[in-house]
Amino acid sequence: MLALVLHPTPLFPPPNTRLLIIDDLSNLILSSLPWTPPLDKKLVDNAATTATLKRNPVRRIQTIEAFSSGLSSLAASRQLAAVVLNKCTTTQQPGTRAVLRPALAGQAWDSGIYARIVLYRDSTAPRARESAD
């Protein structure tokens, strides 16, 4: 996906495309570049592994920035609108209520967003909601 956005071909997006929808970008980036990759216990003491773990968040931010700016350039050069769907996660601090936030967030991503629309579905039953109030 990153290669297609940064180096579009004459066939991508197809001519006369006016809307590009990317579904679940957060899953693609989070699974490819996790905050803490799984460790091989044999390599834990290896200095190279430690250096890689420190670079991984930097690489993730660089990838998000490159994708965001590449998508903006693609949309402008091909005169199309881009819609990126992103999952939400729940965060909770001790003593506070849970808060929904985008799974893919941060200054690297937020700087490339023109408009944000939040859609959600409350999946609790009406009776459960009434008793909670």
Task: pLDDT tens for the chain, 133 residues: list them.
Answer: 888 999 999 999 999 999 999 998 888 877 777 666 555 555 555 655 555 555 677 788 888 888 999 999 999 999 999 999 888 888 888 888 888 888 887 787 777 777 888 777 777 666 655 665 5
Write down the residue that tokens 């430690």 correspond to: 50
Q: Is 89 helix (H, G, I), strand (E, B) or coil?
A: strand
Query: Which pLDDT does position 39 carry in this prediction?
Result: 56
The CA distances from residue 104 to 22, 28, 30, 34, 123, in Å, are: 13, 10, 8, 11, 22
Determine the pLDDT at residue 129.
56
Per-residue confidence (pLDDT) for residue 105, from 0 to 100: 77
In Å, what is the CA distance from 34 to each residue of 19, 30, 74, 103, 125? 29, 5, 26, 12, 34
Please say whether the beta carbons of 100 and 88 come within 8 A.
yes
- Give me the pLDDT at residue 71, please: 92
